[in-house]
Amino acid sequence: MNWTAITAIYKYEMARFFRTLTQSFISPVISTSLYFVVFGAAIGSRIEQVEGVSYGAFIVPGLIMLSIMTQGISNASFGIYFPKFIGTIYELLSAPVNFIEIVIGYVGAAATKSLFIGVVILATAGFFVDLEIQHPIAMIAFMVLTCTSFALFGFIIGIWAKNFEQLQLVPLLIVTPLVFLGGSFYSISMLPPFWQTVTLFNPVVYLISGFRWAFFGLADVPVGLSLVAIAGFTAVCLVAIWWIFKSGWRIRS
């Protein structure tokens, strides 16, 4: 392992993030506050409790998941797309590094950034509602795994994308709908039976459910299934990335 190279990539990517730290910090704070105003105050006044948890607190895990999934994807996809776009990828390809090192550097940085945003949202939410976290270690584990797996997924999108439109396409058309329909703001049990079944085909449901369990001990699906889902998703992404580098797909001509 060329740890010097991994560190170099990681630090370089993080430096970009820290240059815009205020922006990186303020936007999740504002959007979280808005969610609380809109969902918490408007809807929360009608739905007081979901399965014994106040609605305001209930949406916190979903809110965090929503952000770290979309941030993980956009950070990682942009992180690797940008060198392709401006041509600096030549340096990565000519460096004495292998694909594992490149992935650790870029995906690690992207995951760190989304983790940071997740923590900021959690802290902001703490100002609006009382939060108890029943399984803190599981909570951290779910958060880290989600950040990592979605950063891996974003990395694939960044390599696949040939232009900025494509870069936005997958997050916009697939991920955002899946996350919104994945029970971020409601419990599956609130849906009619038919839609409950349909929802179970949405992989994001398993992640949000597991994460919510870590907070409140309530889950739409068994926690074990949630873990299998996220491990499976990570594995699929890893295999895809391994194949991409092995075949040189959209990287080496």
Partner 1 sequence: MSILEIEDLKKVYEGGFEALKGVSLEIEEGEILALLGPNGAGKTTLISTICGITTSTSGDVHVGGFNIKDDYRAARSLIGLVPQEINLEPFETVWNTVRFSRGLFGKKRNDAYLETVLQKLSLWDKKDSRIMELSGGMKRRVLIAKALSHEPRVLFLDEPTAGVDVALRKDMWDTVAELKRDGVTIILTTHYIEEAEAIADRVGVINKGELLLLEEKASLMQRLGKKQMKVELQDAIQSLPESLSAYDLALEEGGSVLTYSYDTRSERTGITTLLSDLSAAGLVLKDLQTAQSSLEDIFVGLVEEGQS
Question: How does DSSP assign 144-202, residue by residue?
Answer: HHHHHHHHHHHHHHHHH-SSHHHHHHHIIIIIHHHHHTTTSSS-GGGS-HHHHHHHTT-
| Residue 8 contacts partner 1 per CB under 8 A | yes
- 130, two tokens: 């009382």
* Least spacing, CB of residue 101 vs partner 1, in Å: 9
CA distance 166 to 42: 35
| Residue 104 contacts partner 1 per CB under 8 A | no
| Residue 223 contacts partner 1 per CB under 8 A | no
How far apart, in Å, do the first and last CA atoms of the chain sit?
25
* Least spacing, CB of residue 161 vs partner 1, in Å: 18
- 138, two tokens: 């599981």
- Is residue 234 within 8 Å of residue 149, measured between CB atoms? yes
Among 53, 64, 92, 156, binds partner 1 (CB under 8 A): 92
| Region of 31-39, 80-88, 117-125, 186-194 interacting with partner 1 (CB under 8 A) | 80-88
| Residue 86 contacts partner 1 per CB under 8 A | yes
| Residue 25 contacts partner 1 per CB under 8 A | no
Q: Which is nearer to partner 1, 46 or 252 (CB)?
A: 252
| Region of 41-49, 93-101, 132-140, 205-213 interacting with partner 1 (CB under 8 A) | 93-101
Q: Which is nearer to partner 1, 45 or 253 (CB)?
A: 253
Among 23, 45, 52, 91, binds partner 1 (CB under 8 A): 91
CA distance 65 to 20: 22
User: Which H or E run contains 54?
Assistant: strand 53-54
| Residue 14 contacts partner 1 per CB under 8 A | no
CA distance 122 to 10: 25
In a 13 Å sphere around the CA of 154, the CA atoms on its Cβ side amount to 31
Q: Which is nearer to partner 1, 2 or 54 (CB)?
A: 2
Contact set with partner 1 (CB under 8 A): 2, 4-5, 7-9, 11-12, 15, 19, 82, 86-88, 90-97, 248, 252-253
